[in-house]
Each structure stands twice: as structure tokens, then as C-alpha cells.
Structure 1
Amino acid sequence: MDDLKQLALRVPADVKAWLTEQAKRNGSSLNSEAIRAVRERMDRETQPQT
């Protein structure tokens, strides 16, 4: 993944707390959890509607 770009992101405290908890639960970084959440949404948006 050589095409990584930095993004400064401001999120509400409850969103950060949720991401932090997910990261702890999954043994991953806050960054990884944010990417996972966005990718899940991307997948839902791009899947054909049935």
C-alpha cells in the first residue's frame, strides 16, 4: 500500500470512544478500526441492491 495519504480527522468524543473500544477488542490500532468502519460502509454502498 504505497499510495497511503494522511488525513486529519475530527470526530465526536463518542465516535472516538467507540473506535478506541473496537481497536482494543480487536487488538488493532485506532487507524485500522477507522479504516475498517469506512471500508464496511464502502462495501455496503457499492454492493448491488437485491
Structure 2
Amino acid sequence: MAITDPQFKIRLPSDAKAFIEAEAKANASSQTSEVVRAIRERMKAETRRTQRLEPKGNKFSL
């Protein structure tokens, strides 16, 4: 990530913030990296889910 990447502020529940802090420490990474990692994992999961549900012929693939 570069300084020129878009930025935004986010409010988190205290338990989510504590989780991000702990994950960053455990992975020797920044909290930003942990948030990005979680978002990208969700993006991959959504992509896989939608690809499974795309129609193949007259049936849906599950």
C-alpha cells in the first residue's frame, strides 16, 4: 500500500479493535494490513460463492 492509496476513518466495536490489534501483533503486521487481509478474504469468498451459483445450462452448480 502506498501513501497515495485512498483513506477513510472507521468506527469499530472495542472487541473488533482488540481482535485486529492481536492479529497484527501475532502476524507481525500493521493493523491496516490485517483489515485489508480480512476484506480481501471476504472478497475471495464472495467471488467463489457467486461463481458456484452461476447457471450452468438449465441447472445451478452448487
TM-score bracket for this pair, using the shorter chain length: 0.7 to 0.9
Larger relative strand fraction: 2
Residue in 1 aligned with 2:7? 6
Residue in 1 aligned with 2:24? 23
Q: Give TM-score scaled by structure 2 length.
A: 0.72
Q: State the identity as a percent.
A: 44
Q: Give TM-score scaled by structure 1 length.
A: 0.87
Structure of higher CA gyration radius:
2
How far off is 1:7 after superposition?
A: 1.1
Deviation digits for residues 1-35 of structure 1, max 9, x if unmatched? 56610010111000000010000000000000000
Note the residue ranges of structure 1 that are not aligned, 5 or more in a row: none
Considering only aligned residues, what root-mean-square deviation do their CA atoms show, in Å? 1.5
**Aligned mates of 1:38, 1:28 — CA distance in 2:** 15
**Aligned mates of 1:32, 1:19 — CA distance in 2:** 9
